[in-house]
Structure formats: structure tokens, C-alpha cells
Amino acid sequence: MRYKLIIFGKFTHIPKVGHDIGQVGVLNNRNMESIGRRRFVKQTVTAAAALAVPASAFAELIPTALQFSQVALPYAANALEPNIDALTMEIHYGKHHAAYIKNVNDAIAAENITFTSEKDFFANTSKLSAKARNNGGGAWNHNFFWQVMKPNGGMPTGKIADAINGAFGSVDKFKEQFTQAAMTRFGSGWAWLVKDGNTLKIGSTPNQDNPMMDVSELKGTPLLALDVWEHAYYLKYQNKRNEYVANWWNVVNWDEVAKRLN
């Protein structure tokens, strides 16, 4: 006969004492002490030591809900002048974009949104509230927008130029189609160059939607984006969106676009 001593869900076996319990009588306290207690103490201490792990170690294994953060502006607020003026950049980055960041994180907390990545967040946009959708898009889109601009942008070269020429015939034809997308987006929104599989596509989205959202008609990996909300240009250009778009080409960061192509 075997006796089983349960230690934190595992069994410790006390060796057979006799062919039958009746042959040796009742297992006395001394036998228990000499046979079982040492093992009990040893295994209890071992198990307790295994459990004595800082809570932070376990916390690292538990995914935390997504929090959006605002990227640092990669250049000074006046660095894109005369194409985009410093005051517009200060308000756009410091007020509008900062508000999107705060509002989406408030929505994530209030609505108990548990997605752990931006990819999953946007892949499930159809399940989100208008507040989470709009501000999540605004947070991500602007982080992207700042990075695809730089002073003295120049023209695309190398692989990105080859890809554009292959998809649209020439850089000039690409710029015409992209400008058309920006100009025909009614009201507020964004114009995009995206990579969908091995294909480059141009399109636009309303409001703060982007091509990663499951609700977007235009889908793909964003390579380039232009904000055509009036707050992006009105202080300098007023209602002349065409002039804003034309001058914006001077500050496109083609090196960043090329990185995203790869």
C-alpha cells in the first residue's frame, strides 16, 4: 500500500512499509517523522522557493493594453518653411496631434479596449467607438505624417523611383495622380500611397481613417501620406489647397518612403 502526500498539486510517495498495513500495524508517528517529514519539509521549501518570484516577473508575461504615444517631431517647427509655416506646425503638432493621442488613450481606458498592437487596433476598427476610431486614426496618421517629411525633400531615387516608374509610368504621372487624390477628397481626410502585396496604389480616406483599418475601402501598407484637413494648411494657404499640395512635394522624405517600401 502507498500513501500519497499532496504538495502543491504534486504527489510524494512514501515507500511501501510492508506487504499489508495489517502486517505492521498502524504506521506510528515516529515512522511518519523519519520517512515522511524530511521529504515534506524539503519539497515544501522547494515549492515555496519556486513561488517566491517577484510579481514584476509575472507582469512581464501578461500583455498590456495598447497605449498610443506621440513621436518627437524629427525637425524644428520652422524647418519646413516656406512650404509649411512654423505656426501651423506648432499648432498642428502641439495641439491637434496631442489631442488625438490623449483622446484615444482615454477611450482605450474607458472602453476597456484590450488590443495590444496598433495593427490589431486598426484591424478591428469596425468594433470600436467613433471616439476610439477617429482619435486612434488621428494619433497614428500624424505620427506617420511627420516622419515622411523633411527639409529639402528632393526627388525619389533608387528603388522607390523604380517602383513608382513601374507602377505609374513616371514620377510626374505619379505626382499627378496623388495630387488628384488629395484635391478630390471632399472635406477632411488624407491622400495615400500604399503597397498592397506587390502593387503600389494611390487613394484617399475620409476624416482620420487610414488604409490599415478594416473599414477602409483603400487597403495596404502606407508608404506616403498627405494630411488635407484644413488645420494642416489654412493659416498659410487659406482655401488654396492646390498651392499647399504643390508646395508639399518639396518636403517629402523619400528616404523614409523607400524604407517603408522594403
pLDDT digits (tens, 9 = 90+) for 99-115: 999 999 999 999 999 99
Read off the pLDDT band of 75 (50, 70, 90).
very high
Task: Map out the domains of the chain with their CATH numbers.
Answer: 3-59 (no CATH), 86-261 (3.55.40.20)
Q: Residue 49: pLDDT above 70?
A: no
CA 172 – CA 184 distance, rounded (Å) = 18
Mean pLDDT of the region 183-189? 97
Q: Residue 59: pLDDT above 50?
A: no
Distances (CA, A) of 121 to 63, 135, 140: 14, 12, 11
Whole-model pTM: value is 0.77
Q: How many CB atoms lie within 10 A of CB 108?
A: 22
Cis omega (within 30 of 0) on the bond before 63?
no
Distances (CA, A) of 162 to 108, 196, 220, 224: 41, 17, 19, 16
CA 43 – CA 194 distance, rounded (Å) = 60
